[in-house]
């Protein structure tokens, strides 16, 4: 039996990268997927790829910072598949800059997606998760994608680190609320390290444009050296963690962090 057979999952930011990998992995394990993203063409392609592989998925355009959009996405999951069992709050952006140079509107834009999007997802999904929580040993599951930068700081990343730290501690508070109010919903965060995604590749291309290919390769090697396991992560590494937290295998786990970083934070 597949590990999430019959479960219905919303995966935000699912057009590519960690979201797409998580959507594919959940679908392979039996979940029905509501895939959302602002990039409609890429999102539709990902949903069609899941269907072509034998899974069930629909795509809907979605601004994670919009409360109206969240109402629409939750209603779509209910009308199309019958409800929600798993929410993967993956949508996020990684823009940064020096704190003394960052415009307030840029700070607020990042927070609106990375933090407010997670809040809105939980707010609107929890009532529906409660409706079906009795069907599963582990109840409903909310999985908030944070980062190793939710534990540590980095130069030029104050806004990003603040947002991911907020997701981390907000996850704990939400987990306690859901548990102590008897909602039968688990809430956990996932903290990726350096992962081979399009976002990382874009950053490498930016380094190459500004400083040349040698600087790009040096930056890549620095990330590998900083990862004790000796390689960058793959999207599938994160997707496997998401599947575990979505499944009833993690039925006694809530309010905690699943760090998937090749040992980076152990140093």
CA-closest candidate to residue 7, choices 137, 172, 190, 122: 137
- The conformation of residue 233, written as its DSSP 8-state character, comes to B
The domains located in the chain, with CATH, are 8-195+233-266 (3.40.50.720)
List, in sequence order, every residue forming a beta bridge with 233; answer none if it has no partner.
195
* Spatial contact of 127 and 236, defined as CB atoms under 8 Å apart: no
CA distances from 20 to 36, 39, 139, 161 (A): 10, 12, 24, 23
pLDDT tens per residue, range 148-200 = 999 999 888 999 999 999 999 999 999 999 999 999 999 999 999 999 987 77
* pLDDT score of 78: 98
Place of tokens 């057009």: 15
- pLDDT given for residue 86 in this prediction: 99
Q: Is the pLDDT of residue 131 over 70?
A: yes
The pLDDT value recorded for residue 224 is 93
- As a whole number, the mean pLDDT across the chain is 95
**Structure-token match 């409800």, residue found:** 83
pTM, 2 dp: 0.95
Residue 205: its pLDDT value, please? 73
Contacts of 97 (CB under 8 A, 6+ apart): 106, 156, 159
Placement of tokens 């929410």 in the chain = 87
Active site residue 264: no
Q: What is the pLDDT of residues 19-57, one digit of tens each?
A: 999 999 999 999 999 999 999 999 999 999 999 999 999
Helix (H, G, I), strand (E, B) or coil at 133: helix
Q: How far apart are CA 166 and CA 52, in angstroms?
A: 37
Q: List phi, psi (to 5°) of 23.
A: -60, -45
Tokens read off for 1: 């039996």
What pLDDT, on the 0 to 100 scale, is given for residue 1?
54
Q: Which residues contact 153 (CB under 8 A, 6 or more apart)?
A: 161
Tokens representing residue 161 in the block: 């680190």
Does 16 have pLDDT greater than 60?
A: yes
Task: Give the count of beta carbons closer than 10 Å to the beta carbon of residue 151.
Answer: 17
Of 59, 81, 119, 160, the active-site residue reads: 160
């Amino acid at each position: 039996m597949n590990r999430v057979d019959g479960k219905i999952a919303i995966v935000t930011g699912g057009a590519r990268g960690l979201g797409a990998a998580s959507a594919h992995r959940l679908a392979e394990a039996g979940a029905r997927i509501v895939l959302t993203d602002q990039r409609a063409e890429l999102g539709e392609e990902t949903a069609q790829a899941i269907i072509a592989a034998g899974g069930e998925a629909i795509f809907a355009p979605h601004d994670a910072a919009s409360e109206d959009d969240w109402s629409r996405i939750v209603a779509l999951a209910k009308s199309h598949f019958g409800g929600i069992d798993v929410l993967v709050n993956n949508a996020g952006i990684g823009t940064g800059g020096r704190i003394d140079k960052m415009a307030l509107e840029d700070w607020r834009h990042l927070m609106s997606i990375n933090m407010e999007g997670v809040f809105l997802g939980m707010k609107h999904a929890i009532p529906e998760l409660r409706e079906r929580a009795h069907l599963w040993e582990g109840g409903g599951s909310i999985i908030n994608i944070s980062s190793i930068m939710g534990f540590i700081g980095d130069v030029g990343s104050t806004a990003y680190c603040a947002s991911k730290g907020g997701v981390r501690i907000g996850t704990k508070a939400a987990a306690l609320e859901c548990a102590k109010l008897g909602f039968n919903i688990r809430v956990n965060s996932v903290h990726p390290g350096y992962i081979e995604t399009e976002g990382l590749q874009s950053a490498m291309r930016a380094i190459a444009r500004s400083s040349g290919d040698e600087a790009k390769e040096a930056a890549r090697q620095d990330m590998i050296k900083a990862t004790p396991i000796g390689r960058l992560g793959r999207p599938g590494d994160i997707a496997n963690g998401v599947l575990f937290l979505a499944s009833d295998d993690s039925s006694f786990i809530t309010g905690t962090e699943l760090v998937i970083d090749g040992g980076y934070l152990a140093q």
